[in-house]
Amino acid sequence: MSDVTIEPLYDYPERERVLALAAEHAEAVDTGERSPFENLREIAKDGLLTLGRTGSLVPQTAVAYDLASQDASTGFSLWAHRSTIAFFDAVGRELPEGLAEATTSGTTAMAAAYKEAAGIGPIKVLGTLVEGGVKLNGTISWASNLYPNGVIVLPVAVQNALQGHSDRYIVTVRQDVPGLKIAYHRNLLALNGTESGTLTFEDVFVPTEDILTEDFPGFLAKVTAPFLLVQSAFCLGLAAGALQSAAGHLQVSGGIFKQEFEGLIERYRTLRATLLRLAAEPEHAQKRELLQLRLDVSHLATTATHFELQTVGGIGYVAGSPTARRVREATFLPVQSPTEGHLRYELAKFENAAGSPIQETAAAAS
């Protein structure tokens, strides 16, 4: 079965160039010798960071998938950057200069928003209304694509003194804004090139014009589909890369792995079909399906990378090998927001809804 080719997510004119670019620089990105944003700037020249801003999201998910099949760091960076673009689209704002071209980086610092909406954790950046805007204090434990002058989008809990409760805002800041400190996370198992770190806000001033919206649930409803679909595509691409590698080693140990491989291929095809269906009409995607897909593709990526290691053998255990890199990359998926625990918690709520029909969609308030 060495001639097995894993069916790609979707074909597009620039696909071979995208695959070649990611493959050529995968090792350099993994070792920190090259930034994944160098790759993103290259594909941005063909408009591949702004696909699906209206209508079908399939072409954009395909780019994320293809990048991740060769280099998960670049696939992940594309997801975070493309999510930032979706945030501005959701509120009808023009994109900040350089975002479409990746000369300005986009950072999604939205994990706390989704956790609070799900009821599993508070927003830890607090806002105080001041003349001309809002002042921020607090922390965000993890954000990525943290490059100089980059655009960051985050949720803020703003105390409403008149009504005695906190309002939820979505705001944008620049990385270089006074009062924002970044502690970068180094020596990660993988994805070191993604420039991830903890953000600390100390009296950071956000002018009124940089408050993107005060409609917290409405905003989440609009961005959930692109957020999870491009993320799911990056996970599925990682799985596909592992399965393609494993396909060349199925004769080992008397072919004992062939039946297991066929089972993994069937799972891959099912999830591929689900991703394509949901991405074709993201505005109609049900939240439950989006969450389940994200959980399932992360499980497949974990299983597929370990399967690759089993079939490739000892050479895959060499730290610098593509096999070892994919195994390390897959270990990130359970902790990537939404985390394994977050996904399972929200899906359990659907299961415990006493069998009532699922009405919630990505276009309805979450």
Tell which of 215, 239, 264 closes a domain. Answer: 215
pTM score above 0.85: yes
**CA gap 133, 142 in Å, rounded:** 25
303 domain-assigned: yes
What averages of pLDDT result for each successive group of 10 residues across the chain (366 residues)?
A: 80 98 97 96 98 97 98 98 98 98 98 96 95 97 97 94 74 98 95 96 98 97 98 98 97 95 97 98 97 98 98 95 97 96 96 57 38
**CA gap 275, 331 in Å, rounded:** 22
Residue range(s) defining the domain that contains residue 225: 217-351
Asked if the bond preceding 207 is cis, omega within 30° of 0, the reply is no
Q: Are residues 211 and 222 in the same domain?
A: no
CATH code of the domain containing 176: 2.40.110.10
Q: Are residues 180 and 161 in the same domain?
A: yes
Q: Are residues 28 and 67 in the same domain?
A: yes
Q: Are residues 210 and 234 in the same domain?
A: no
154 domain-assigned: yes
Could you report the per-residue pLDDT of 231-245, keeping only the tens digit for each? Answer: 999 999 999 999 999
Q: Are residues 82 and 208 in the same domain?
A: no
Q: Are strands 106-108 and 151-160 parallel, antiparallel or unpaired?
A: parallel
Q: Are residues 221 and 185 in the same domain?
A: no
Distances from the Cα of 12 to the Cα of 18, 61, 168, angstroms: 10, 11, 40
Q: Give how many domains the chain has, as a whole number.
A: 3
Bridge-partner residues for 169, per DSSP? 156
Q: Are residues 327 and 233 in the same domain?
A: yes
